[in-house]
């Protein structure tokens, strides 16, 4: 779901890049009102967790891959506005440092995965859970909400990509950017996420909610943890060590093909896509540090480095926003 450079024309990416900035501003204001100082580590952990699980690629029929995101889970724990900032930091780091998602498409990718996904997922979760939900109902609601959230985000991404042949093409009708129209792009994105990546997202979310409900139920009420969350950091460390599993999935995610891959598929490369495709050279493209020969070790190092940067940036931002907050501040509500 990480749209690369060249798949969106300026009519689309410029609008979404401009639109995401005030969204971040509103998110910062909202989080400043609700985030408690003791929740800062959890927000940093959530951002790092989202980054890590996006490295676990899962193959599907047709030779493409995908992954979970974790946006709804963060929204359940901290609210959708905090999730918006957390996932955005992860996505921007992925684009800048690892070349996962385009520089021009940062606004689009953040809109899809850091706005649509956590907000849709969170409010579906609240709707299904109801007031004073039981432990089992909360778990089920988290799974339903996370599934709907990621499918909604995939439809948004499919629409953005599929719109391009209609609004940007040569005089003879050849697409300048993403070559697949709406009737192909939207189903391709939606079906894979509905059948594979959505259930994966749901299982991960339900699993974490189930564990938190047993270990520290305060977290499910958007309250600071009642005890240190060291064990959650340890879990993140284990996930980092397991990231090479993501390398076992062969193929490229749908709509994220390189120019050479598109040429092999279509017999040509859209002119605008070819021009924008090489706009940014990441320091560690495809999570492969050049100074490490073993790809599996390199993947772990990239995961650890990415987590450190994302957790650090998120921690600093959350610390700034929560400055002067009182742990007795009213707990964020469903309308936060």
Q: What percent of the chain has pLDDT over 70?
A: 96
Secondary structure (DSSP) of 236-304: HHHHHHHGGGGGG--S--TT---HHHHHHHHSS--HHHHHHHTS---SSGGG--TT---HHHHHHHHHH
Q: Tell whether the model's pLDDT for residue 330 goes beyond 90.
A: no
Q: Tell whether the model's pLDDT for residue 101 goes beyond 50.
A: yes
Q: Tell whether the model's pLDDT for residue 336 goes beyond 50.
A: no
Sorted by where each starts, the structural domains of the chain and their CATH numbers stand as 10-321 (1.10.1760.20)
Q: What pLDDT does 229 receive?
A: 92
pLDDT digits (tens, 9 = 90+) for 199-242: 999 999 999 999 999 999 999 999 999 888 999 999 999 999 99
Comparing CA positions, the residue from 43, 18, 17, 19 lying closest to residue 30 is 43
Mean pLDDT, rounded, of the chain = 93
Q: What pLDDT does 326 receive?
A: 59
Please answer whether residues 158 and 180 qualify as being in contact, where contact means their C-beta atoms are separated by less than 8 angstroms.
no
Q: What pLDDT does 329 receive?
A: 46
pTM: 0.94
Q: What pLDDT does 334 receive?
A: 43
Angle, to 10 degrees, between the axis of helix 295-321 and the axis of helix 10-34? 60
**Distance between first and last Cα of the chain:** 27
Q: What pLDDT does 316 receive?
A: 97
Comparing CA positions, the residue from 139, 115, 113, 116 lying closest to residue 128 is 139
Place of tokens 């963060």: 74
Q: What pLDDT does 331 receive?
A: 47
Query: What residues have CB less than 8 Å from 290, skipping those under 6 apart?
Result: 284
Q: Tell whether the model's pLDDT for residue 40 goes beyond 80.
A: yes
Element (H, E) at 59: strand 58-60
Q: What is the helix, strand, coil percentage profile of the chain, to 5?
A: 70, 0, 30
| 64: β partners | 60
């Amino acid at each position: 779901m990480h749209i690369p450079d060249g798949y969106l024309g300026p009519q689309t990416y410029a609008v979404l890049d401009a639109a995401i900035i005030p969204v971040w501003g509103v998110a910062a204001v909202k989080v400043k009102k609700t985030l408690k100082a003791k929740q800062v580590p959890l927000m940093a952990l959530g951002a790092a967790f989202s980054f890590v699980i996006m490295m676990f690629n899962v193959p599907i029929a047709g030779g493409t891959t995908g992954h979970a995101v974790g946006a709804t889970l963060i929204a359940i724990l901290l609210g959708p506005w905090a999730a918006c900032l957390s996932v955005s930091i992860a996505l921007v780091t992925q684009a800048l440092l690892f070349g996962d998602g385009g520089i021009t498409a940062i606004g689009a990718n953040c809109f899809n995965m850091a706005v649509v996904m956590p907000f849709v997922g969170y409010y579906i979760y609240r709707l299904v859970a109801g007031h004073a939900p039981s432990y089992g109902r909360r778990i089920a609601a988290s799974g339903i909400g996370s599934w709907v959230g990621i499918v909604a985000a995939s439809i948004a991404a499919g629409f953005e990509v599929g719109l391009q042949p209609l609004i940007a093409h040569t005089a003879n009708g050849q697409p300048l950017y993403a070559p697949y129209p709406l009737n192909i792009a939207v189903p391709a994105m939606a079906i894979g996420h509905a059948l594979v990546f959505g259930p994966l997202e749901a299982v991960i979310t339900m699993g974490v909610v189930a564990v938190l409900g047993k270990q520290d139920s305060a977290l499910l009420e958007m309250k600071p943890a009642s005890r240190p969350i060291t064990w959650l950091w340890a879990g993140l460390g284990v996930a980092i060590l397991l990231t090479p599993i993501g390398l076992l999935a062969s193929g490229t995610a749908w709509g994220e093909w390189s120019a050479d891959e598109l040429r092999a598929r279509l017999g040509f490369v859209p002119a605008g896509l070819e021009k924008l495709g090489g706009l940014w050279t990441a320091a560690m493209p495809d999570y492969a540090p050049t100074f490490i020969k073993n790809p599996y070790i390199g993947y772990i190092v990239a995961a650890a480095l990415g987590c450190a940067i994302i957790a650090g940036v998120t921690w600093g931002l959350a610390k700034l926003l929560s400055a002067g907050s009182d742990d007795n501040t009213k707990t964020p509500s469903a309308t936060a």
